[in-house]
Amino acid sequence: MKQLVLVFIGGGFGSIARYALSKFFNNDTSGIPYGTLIANVLGSLLIGFILGFVAKTETLNTNQTLLLATGFCGGFTTFSTFAYENHMFLKSGDFMNFFLYTIGSFIIGFAAVFLGMFLVKFI
């Protein structure tokens, strides 16, 4: 039960952080929902760093890892919002932003996970 509460708390804080980024960076003039993109890239970097740190140092216990990686990063990143925003691009016929946002999210997201894992080597 304690582990569920830790995931719940981390997820709540992650969701609040994602909401704040979306309110600040998403706007109708740019076309691309940068807030979601930033949240997904930062979340990918953070989870790569956290899990790389755990693998290297074993200084975080299971509960701390659940709070940070599963909870916070899980609440902070969002595939459902990403999917919805892409649906809206397709629905409006904005194929260029659909392509840029989708490919950019995958490539930068994967690169961020690898970067996070790589950065742990310097700790």
Q: Is 34 helix (H, G, I), strand (E, B) or coil?
A: helix
pLDDT, residue 15, reads 96
Query: Exposed, middle or buried by CB within 10 Å (0-12, 13-18, 19+), for 64?
Result: middle
pLDDT, residue 123, reads 84
The pLDDT tens digits for 50-94 are 999 998 998 899 999 999 999 999 999 988 789 889 999 999 999
pTM as predicted? 0.83
Residue 28 CA to residue 25 CA, distance in Å, equals: 10
The pairs formed by 18-23 with CB atoms below 8 angstroms and a separation of 24 or more are: 18/75, 18/76, 18/77, 18/78, 22/81
Residue 44 C-beta-side C-alpha neighbours within 13 Å: 19
Assess contact for 52 and 119: CB atoms under 8 A: yes
The pLDDT tens digits for 1-28 are 999 999 999 999 999 999 999 999 988 7
Give the mean pLDDT of 105-113.
94
φ/ψ bin of 16: left (φ > 0), alpha (ψ from -120 to 50), beta (otherwise): alpha
Give the mean pLDDT of 106-111.
94
pLDDT at 95 over 90: yes
Of residues 5 and 31, more confidence is placed in 5
